[in-house]
Structure 1
């Protein structure tokens, strides 16, 4: 990937959220200027009364439409993958600064800090995987769908990538909204939520690091013409076939504990849908692994002895076969 294209993609990625940011800052300016908001125009008044609808409207216009147009022009929908790590940070600050926000100071600040930690961890993993390049490639699942839908991909991509991502992202981020809209004293369940969230971030970081080291080592072996290691079954991967997915789910469900603790357990719906989607992605990933001849046999054995998500002790292949 050339330096010019890399710089261009970096500039696009940094500038693309500006429409939403500038619109929101303009809204805050008008709201502050009127004192209590009673003299606002109908548009600004609507924005002040409907924080979740406003967030979804900005997402639709700035992400769904703008990202989609850029993806069509570039023939690559790479940017939504990167912005998975950024949008939750933007949302948590948006909900915390909206005029309707009311919250416990400690809970709000702890969740904001942890959301930044989660984002930095995921962003680091993204750029490390992409060799510190911006938009070098799009998600392999999008590439597969591009081939599957052919000439219809230009419009199918709008729904399959962007509209669906809005449902997932705004849904799993609903606990961030609740945390910034309910003022309830900090209690023991907040500590439990912090432990779950932090454990999720740490597990995902170490799992992704171990995976990155494994892929890097195999790449070097391939370049040297040497046999590649067929399967990663060391470290956290000894106890789970997808410990990085497990850590990511712990993070989102930890946020649900925050929301449940302040009376909004219904927000579990977002992470539940995301977990179900990730279960499907897990199946796609494992099918892809099985198609690689050099690792098929080893991975089949790995499936028989190792837990899918939740880390657990290995079982014997014979016992697994008898249970099936």
Structure 2
């Protein structure tokens, strides 16, 4: 159930900061941050329920299933500290730029618009990447049901240029918020986004290890790894080297 906290806690935090008695901020910057946080939260919530077949908590994240097997009878307390408690602190950390937005009153400038562009681009990239992934998973599920071979790797759309464009979009969102805080003199809040990026790098390794362990896609995915950028979208390269700019 921890995934759902990621969709609502930042929204709750931005409203808490905006309505706090000691809040001191530019009205327009505040409303922009609130609106974007709502759009980000709704996108993430929609993706969660779409991925889960419009059910609430119907299945456990495979990473937590693996951890449950690893820790056995100790999982009940390990999960409290390693999953739930630390992620609550984590969520507050990455949302600190929203606190800065509501603690300093400074007129809008060009950096605010740059921050908006980065955040909005992150939301759009993540939405289309997750939609393309959902369509791919749905197609493979239908092929499996009909006893047909499944497509081993998603390498179309945004996934042609990045192995994890959904992760890239999510990072754009959090780093876009950091630009808001940096512009207001609190660049130290980048630590939350940095730790988030480091954790996502670890998750990326877990996902890719899982992919190459699945027999039907192992060979295709290894080739995909050799030719496609990990996060930042870029032209594909051939397995022998060089760029492939064909459409």
Q: Same fold (TM over 0.5)?
A: yes
Question: Hey, what's the Cα distance between the residues in 1 that align with 2:60 and 2:42?
Answer: 20
Aligned residue number for residue 295 of structure 1: 217
1:167 to 68, 86, 89: 89
Aligned residue number for residue 102 of structure 2: 180
Instruction: Work out the number of aligned pairs and report it.
Output: 242
Aligned residue number for residue 28 of structure 1: none
- Offset from partner CA, 1:155-192 (integer Å, 9 cap, x none): 11111101220232111000010001110000010000
Offset at residue 137 of structure 1 (A): 1.1
Aligned structure 1 segments of 4 or more residues deviating by more than 3 angstroms: none
Larger radius of gyration between Structure 1 and Structure 2: 1
Q: Which runs of 5+ in 1 are unaligned?
A: 1-78
1:117 to 35, 39, 42: 39
Aligned residue number for residue 219 of structure 1: 141
Aligned residue number for residue 306 of structure 1: 228
Question: Hey, what's the Cα distance between the residues in 2 that align with 1:140 and 1:98?
Answer: 39
2:191 to 261, 266, 269: 269
Instruction: Specify the SS of the correspondent of 2:221.
Output: helix
Identify the structure with the greater helix proportion: 1
Question: Hey, what's the Cα distance between the residues in 2 that align with 1:313 and 1:129?
Answer: 28
Under a length normalisation based on structure 2, what TM-score does the superposition of the two structures give?
Answer: 0.97
Q: Which runs of 5+ in 2 are unaligned?
A: 243-247
Question: Hey, what's the Cα distance between the residues in 1 that align with 2:57 and 2:232?
Answer: 32
2:35 matches 1:82: no
Instruction: Specify the SS of the correspondent of 1:294.
Output: coil
2:20 matches 1:98: yes
Under a length normalisation based on structure 1, what TM-score does the superposition of the two structures give?
Answer: 0.74
Aligned residue number for residue 78 of structure 2: 156
Q: Whose RCO is larger (CA < 8 A, sep 6+)?
A: 2
Offset at residue 142 of structure 1 (A): 1.0
1:200 to 118, 122, 129: 122
- Offset from partner CA, 1:91-114 (integer Å, 9 cap, x none): 000010011111000000000000
1:256 to 178, 187, 190: 178
Question: Hey, what's the Cα distance between the residues in 2 that align with 1:200 and 1:164?
Answer: 25
Question: Hey, what's the Cα distance between the residues in 1 that align with 2:97 and 2:57?
Answer: 30
Offset at residue 82 of structure 1 (A): 1.0
2:53 matches 1:131: yes
Aligned residue number for residue 245 of structure 2: none
Aligned residue number for residue 282 of structure 1: 204
Question: Hey, what's the Cα distance between the residues in 2 that align with 1:140 and 1:301?
Answer: 24
1:140 to 62, 70, 73: 62
2:144 matches 1:228: no
- Offset from partner CA, 1:110-152 (integer Å, 9 cap, x none): 0000000000000000000001001101211111101100011
Aligned residue number for residue 108 of structure 1: 30
Question: Hey, what's the Cα distance between the residues in 1 that align with 2:173 and 2:40?
Answer: 8
